[in-house]
Structure 1
Amino acid sequence: MSLDRPVAPNPYDLLPRVPSFSVTSTDVTDGAPLDDDQVAATGNTSPQLSWSGAPEGTQSYVVTCFDPDAPTPSGFWHWVLVDLPADVTSLDTGAASATLPGKAFHVRNDGGEKGFMGAAPPEGDMSHRYFFVVHAVSEPSLGVDDSASPAVVSFNLAFKTLARAIIHGTYQH
């Protein structure tokens, strides 16, 4: 069976436009291959992220990692971290496995776990893109609980996102 298919568009280009702010990482270089630490089979560790310049009125953050290139119609959610307090502007490497600040929590990724799942494209498939996104949220809580799906989180973000900061890495197995 062949997995040949067109490259999916950048999913954030398909959402309502919002301002951007800055996100950097010591572990992810924008547009470059991911380090082994961010690959499921060799590290499975969430990357360090730091952000600045979120707009006034930001009351919390949501951090996600999404792969639009998975061979599914809905892509693949690798990480969904909800309700980070507004005074948090960085996450250390491996933060997805540590005690989270404030009332922050994970919802299940598409691998079925609450936390980060590293890159794991099918062997021989095209290069996949992993969009690490920090969403500045207009409310102190997104209004979902830890049983929400990534799609429900994303739906709520459509109405409560003030700005987005995006960095993406790639990986090909």
Structure 2
Amino acid sequence: MRPLVASMVFLGFLSFQSKGMELKSSAFKNGQEIPRKYTCDGVNISPELSWENPPSGAKSYVLIMEDPDAPYGTFTHWVVYDIPAHVRSLKEGFPKADQVDGIKQGINDFGYVGYGGPCPPKGHGYHRYIFKLYVLSVESLNLPPKATKKQVEESIRGKVLAEGRLVGKYRR
């Protein structure tokens, strides 16, 4: 019975979308494997991401990518914030810079700014990589570049209008 319950929880998690918000990628579909190109075994560049149907009142976005299956707890791969409301996508290979056109990036758990692709331990099986896009009611979090995920999460409390998720998986 446990595998059935776990499967149902995972499927429900995959289909989570808030208030019609949709986050997607041209590189992979929700629940499918992330191509090697976007991992530590490939070029390790970010996939293209786009979103649709943000609610009215959206003033900015935050994107966080995490691996909840990491051996020592959730591992943060990417933190992006102060994405202006008119932006509806992040291009493939988004620059690993503190700030790009006003969009700020935080420190990931690899210890650097920008995207760090999937890199699970070899033989550890599939890991899920969850891209979470938060729609905010404020234009800026008033944080400097290089903020941590914890700082960003604390700053968005009470400001989230909607959330979209995209889940990919990868194993080595």
TM-score bracket for this pair, using the shorter chain length: 0.7 to 0.9
1:121 aligns with 2:117: no
TM-score, normalising length from structure 2? Answer: 0.84
| 1:51 counterpart letter in structure 2 | W
The 5 Å alignment of 1:83-94 reads 83-94=82-93
- Hey, what's the Cα distance between the residues in 2 that align with 1:77 and 1:35? 19
- Hey, what's the Cα distance between the residues in 1 that align with 2:111 and 2:53? 33
1:49-93 CA-to-partner distances (Å, cap 9, x unmatched) read: 1111111111011111111111113x1110001101110001111
**How far 1:154 sits from its partner (Å)?**
1.7
Seen in structure 2, the aligned counterparts of structure 1 residues 87 and 99 have a Cα distance that, compared at 3 Å, is farther
- Secondary structure of the residue aligned to 1:94 is coil
2:171 aligned residue: 172
1:28 aligns with 2:25: no
**How far 1:20 sits from its partner (Å)?**
4.8
- Hey, what's the Cα distance between the residues in 2 that align with 1:96 and 1:28? 20
**How far 1:101 sits from its partner (Å)?**
5.1
1:110-149 CA-to-partner distances (Å, cap 9, x unmatched) read: 0011000000011111310001121111100123222421
| 1:43 counterpart letter in structure 2 | V
**2:130–2:168 Cα contact (<8 Å) kept:** yes
**2:60–2:84 Cα contact (<8 Å) kept:** yes
The 5 Å alignment of 1:20-59 reads 20-59=20-59
- Hey, what's the Cα distance between the residues in 1 that align with 2:20 and 2:62? 14
**1:50–1:89 Cα contact (<8 Å) kept:** yes
- Hey, what's the Cα distance between the residues in 2 that align with 1:158 and 1:98? 25
- Hey, what's the Cα distance between the residues in 2 that align with 1:29 and 1:95? 19
- Hey, what's the Cα distance between the residues in 2 that align with 1:171 and 1:23? 19
When structure 1 is superposed on structure 2, of 43-52 and 97-106 the one drifting more is 97-106
Seen in structure 2, the aligned counterparts of structure 1 residues 31 and 18 have a Cα distance that, compared at 3 Å, is closer
2:152 aligned residue: 153
1:63 aligned residue: 63
- CA RMSD between the two structures: 2.3
When structure 1 is superposed on structure 2, of 139-148 and 25-34 the one drifting more is 139-148
Structure 2 unaligned blocks of 5 or more: 1-5
- Hey, what's the Cα distance between the residues in 1 that align with 2:95 and 2:65? 12
1:134 aligned residue: 133
- Secondary structure of the residue aligned to 1:51 is strand
